[in-house]
């Protein structure tokens, strides 16, 4: 595996950025109305702008958040099995969304409540996991798992006492979808995710050092505790932004870091930005598939995009494992 | 170089290190010995600044350790901990290059100087041919040499090692100790926790014998490695003789 150089950084991330733009362009021209920039005229432009663009952007924001936070949590917990949802913030976000939904709040309010709930969950999880000012990976992991279990038990409880149409809405929300039509809220999430991504990139070198072990990292000059806190808070807020916007889209945050480690090596300086780009690419692709399938096979509802990511992601991942590259 | 003044440390109430005062001069090679739980590792971590003493002070080059920033301390002292698995497949080269961390800026972009230092460190540990190999795939001995290369790459004048020869065969034991001794001859101060008494006698200039978190003896091998001392510290009967080869003490276990 080649080692890090600025040239390699720009080559890999430039290539992924180019791919993202390409995928976005193709996807923007596909959709149930069959309209495209090629010969669709003013009406096509209008549809793309109001219906497809917010949704594509939501896919980019959510995918970028999932890819990069997956990578960062794996580094933080020194555990390649970690994913963006493992530390419990997602459970809090989902619970908030469900509560806001059954309270009959409008859709933008549901997203806001969900995000706030994610933020509060993050604080609670930190408060539970921190011991004498230290954030230990295994305590954090355990706290996250317990918090998720509790949140989903509450969601399932609510789900079981509600009439079935509402419980279908909850299911849809949990599986993750990008049915977003308002630019403002996508913009807000984009802001959180973009700033978060920059912070994670700044900490990416320290993520390399953290993977050597706490003592090695400390003896190489890393302030282990403040680094852990920074990664935990930053990535948690990004996960909150992603889940409140698009629900619990599964698997992207697990397989993107893995595939990239296989392809370009474990150096987080390249991995963090690259995983955000590949996350965005995968989610745009998956959502394009959803929109095309939704048009042809179904009429009442669309397939949740989370179903597609797991349905295609899992076999692909198994294929890689069996080929012995993982 | 390193001075400890009444240093104490406890994890939970009971002292693991209690009232240690000693001085390690520039260019020494100190082997820390003592039974399990005597405080060897804790003492190393205190000097490396990974743990902070609950009482007493540690001075590095005359300056109180608590006044150092993490980064500045890392430039003074390198630490090679006991085996810890790395969850990702970093190559030996990448790991050695990380030894340059205390000299590299916020974004971690290595310069020419860092690459030279890492290369030289791998050369002098004889690990350059392992450059591209994944650290996790190396044998225990190769791995240890790579981690020592990481410490060398940092350019720190002091290297602390926690049982550098644990789990190694004699070939690698001797290779590791030879590398350390060569570094020491070049002026690097070395402090290593050791279990193998004969190995420590052969390579260390001074031996620190700990018992129950206190200094039991600190001196030359001839002064420290005696039947009476070993018997008292390890609470076990061993045979201590004087080698005909170099006149140094050696020990042989005695079956009960």
What are the 10-residue block averages of pLDDT along chain A, 326 residues in total? 82 97 90 67 77 90 97 93 93 94 88 94 95 89 95 92 80 79 89 97 95 94 94 96 92 92 93 98 91 60 80 83 64
Average pLDDT over residues B80-96: 92
Nearest chain A residue to B112 by CA: give it: A5
Q: How far is the alpha carbon of A246 from chain B, nearest alpha carbon, in Å?
A: 30
CB atoms within 10 A of CB A153: 12
Nearest chain A residue to B89 by CA: give it: A266
Q: What is the mean pLDDT of chain B?
A: 94
Residue A33 pLDDT: 66
Residue A57 pLDDT: 93
Range in A262-266, A280-284, B78-82, B105-109 with the lowest mean pLDDT: B105-109
Note whether A215 contacts B84, CB cutoff 8 Å: yes
- Of B256, B245, B253, B142, the closest CA to residue B202 belongs to B245
Residue B223 pLDDT: 94
d(CA B113, CA B106): 17
Query: In sequence order, what are the beta bridge partners of A135?
Result: A130
Give yes or no for a contact between A271 and A261, defined as CB atoms under 8 angstroms apart: yes
Helix (H) or strand (E) segment spanning residue B93: helix B92-98
Residue A326 pLDDT: 46
Average pLDDT over residues B131-159: 95
Query: Which residues on B lie below 8 Å from A1 (Cβ)?
Result: 89, 91, 132
Identity of the residue in A74, A212, A223 whose CB atom sits nearest the CB atom of B98? A212
Residue A81 pLDDT: 86
CB atoms within 10 A of CB B196: 19
Helix (H) or strand (E) segment spanning residue B181: helix B170-185
- Of B73, B62, B125, the closest CA to residue B95 belongs to B125
- Classify the phi-psi angles of B163: left when phi > 0, otherwise alpha if psi is within -120 to 50, otherwise beta: left
Tokens of A30: 């596909």
Give yes or no for a contact between B213 and B36, defined as CB atoms under 8 angstroms apart: no
CB atoms within 10 A of CB B109: 14
- Classify the phi-psi angles of A299: left when phi > 0, otherwise alpha if psi is within -120 to 50, otherwise beta: alpha
> Which of B11, B54, B72, B101 should one mutate to test binding to chain A, selecting the residue with the greatest count of A CBs within 10 A?
B101
ipTM of the complex: 0.92
Query: Which residues on A lie below 8 Å from B74 (Cβ)?
Result: 219-221
Residue A95 pLDDT: 95
Note whether B93 contacts A3, CB cutoff 8 Å: yes
Query: Which residues on A lie below 8 Å from B89 (Cβ)?
Result: 1, 261, 265-266
- Residue B32 reports pLDDT greater than 60: yes
Query: Which residues on A lie below 8 Å from B104 (Cβ)?
Result: 205
- Of A84, A94, A241, A109, the closest CA to residue A170 belongs to A94
Count interface pairs A-B at CB distance under 8 A: 93
Residue A293 pLDDT: 72
Helix (H) or strand (E) segment spanning residue B124: helix B112-124
Query: In sequence order, what are the beta bridge partners of B189?
Result: B158
Q: How far is the alpha carbon of A277 from chain B, nearest alpha carbon, in Å?
A: 20
Ordered structural domains, chain B, with CATH: 2-87+157-253 (3.40.50.300)
CA-CA-CA-CA torsion sign (A71, A76, A79, A84): negative
Higher-scoring residue by pLDDT: A50, B41 = B41
- Residue B105 reports pLDDT greater than 60: yes
Give yes or no for a contact between B19 and B7, defined as CB atoms under 8 angstroms apart: yes
Give yes or no for a contact between B122 and B96, defined as CB atoms under 8 angstroms apart: yes
Using alpha carbons, list the distances in angstroms from residue B125 to A112, A210, B118, B135, B182. Answer: 57, 24, 11, 15, 10
Note whether A220 contacts B102, CB cutoff 8 Å: yes
Helix (H) or strand (E) segment spanning residue B141: helix B140-153
Note whether A216 contacts B49, CB cutoff 8 Å: no
Q: How far is the alpha carbon of B63 from chain A, nearest alpha carbon, in Å?
A: 17
Tokens of A16: 């992924």
- Residue B128 reports pLDDT greater than 70: yes
d(CA A93, CA A91): 5
Global confidence as pTM? 0.92
- State the SS3 of chain A: CCCCCHHHHHHHHHHHHHHHHHHHHHHHCCCCCCCCCCCCHHHHHHHHHHHHHHHHHHHHHHHHHHHHHHHHHHHHCCCCCCCCCCCCHHHHHHHHHHHHHHCCCCHHHHHHHHHHHHHHHHHHHHHHHEECCEECHHHHHHHHHHHHHHHHHHHHHHHHHCCHHHHHHHHHHHHCCCCCCCHHHHHHHHHHHHHHHHHHHHCHHHHHHHCCCHHHHHHCCCCHHHHHHHHHHHHHHHHHHHHHHHCCCCCHHHHHHHHHHHHHCCCHHHHHHHHHHHHHHHHHHHHHHHHHHHHHHCCCCCCCHHHHHHHHHHHHHHHHHHCCCC
d(CA A238, CA A243): 9
Query: In sequence order, what are the beta bridge partners of B227?
Result: none
Burial of B62 (0-12, 13-18, 19+ CB in 10 A): exposed
Residue A47 pLDDT: 76
Average pLDDT over residues B80-86: 89
């Amino acid at each position: 595996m080649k080692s890090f150089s600025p040239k390699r950084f720009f080559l890999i991330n430039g290539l992924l950025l180019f791919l993202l733009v390409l995928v976005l362009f193709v996807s923007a021209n596909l959709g149930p109305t069959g309209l495209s920039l090629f010969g669709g005229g003013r009406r096509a432009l209008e549809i793309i702008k109001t219906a497809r663009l917010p949704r594509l952007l939501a896919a980019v924001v959510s995918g970028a958040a999932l890819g990069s936070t997956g990578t960062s949590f794996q580094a933080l917990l020194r555990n390649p099995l970690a994913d963006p949802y493992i530390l419990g913030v997602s459970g809090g976000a989902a619970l908030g969304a469900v509560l806001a939904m059954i309270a009959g709040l409008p859709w933008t309010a549901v997203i806001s409540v969900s995000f706030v709930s994610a933020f509060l969950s993050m604080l609670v999880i930190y408060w539970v996991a921190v011991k004498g000012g230290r954030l230990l990976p295994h305590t954090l992991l355990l706290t996250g798992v317990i918090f998720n279990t509790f949140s989903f038990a509450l969601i399932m409880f609510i789900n079981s006492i509600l009439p079935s149409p509402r419980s279908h809405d909850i299911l849809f929300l949990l599986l993750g979808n990008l049915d977003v039509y308002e630019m403002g809220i996508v913009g807000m999430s984009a802001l959180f995710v973009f700033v978060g991504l920059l912070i994670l990139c700044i900490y990416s070198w320290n993520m390399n050092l953290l993977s050597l072990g706490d003592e090695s990292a400390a003896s190489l000059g890393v302030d282990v505790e403040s680094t852990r806190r920074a990664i935990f808070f930053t990535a948690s807020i990004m996960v909150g932004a992603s889940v409140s916007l698009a629900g619990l889209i599964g698997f992207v945050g697990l397989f993107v870091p893995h595939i990239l480690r296989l392809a370009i090596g474990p150096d987080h300086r390249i991995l963090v930005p690259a995983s955000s780009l590949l996350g965005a690419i995968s989610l745009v692709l998956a959502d394009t598939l959803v929109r095309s399938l939704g048009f042809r096979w179904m009429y009442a509802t669309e397939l949740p995009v989370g179903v597609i990511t797991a349905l295609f992601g899992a076999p692909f991942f198994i294929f890689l494992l069996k080929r012995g590259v993982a | 170089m390193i001075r400890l003044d009444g240093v104490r440390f406890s994890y939970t109430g009971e002292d693991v290190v209690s009232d240690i005062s000693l001085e390690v001069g520039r260019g020494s090679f100190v082997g820390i010995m003592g039974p399990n739980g005597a405080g060897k590792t804790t003492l190393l971590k205190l000097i490396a600044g990974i743990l902070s003493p609950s009482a007493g002070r540690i001075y590095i080059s005359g300056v109180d350790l608590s006044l150092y920033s993490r980064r500045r301390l890392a430039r003074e002292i390198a630490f090679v901990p006991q085996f810890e698995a790395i969850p990702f497949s970093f190559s030996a080269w990448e790991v050695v290059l990380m030894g340059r961390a205390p000299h590299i800026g916020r974004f971690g972009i290595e310069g020419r100087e860092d690459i030279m230092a890492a290369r030289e460190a791998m050369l002098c540990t004889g690990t350059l041919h392992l450059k591209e190999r994944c650290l996790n795939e190396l044998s225990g001995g190769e791995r240890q040499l790579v981690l020592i290369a990481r410490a060398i790459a940092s350019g720190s004048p002091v290297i602390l090692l926690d049982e550098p020869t644990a789990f190694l065969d004699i070939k690698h034991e001797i290779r590791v100790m030879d590398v350390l001794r060569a570094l020491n001859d070049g002026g690097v101060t070395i402090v290593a926790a050791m279990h193998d008494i004969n190995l420590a006698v052969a390579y260390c200039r001074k031996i620190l014998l700990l018992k129950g978190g206190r200094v039991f003896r600190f001196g030359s091998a001839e002064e420290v490695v005696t039947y009476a001392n070993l018997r008292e510290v390890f609470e076990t009967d061993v045979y201590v003789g004087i080698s005909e080869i170099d006149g140094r003490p050696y020990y042989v276990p005695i079956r009960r």
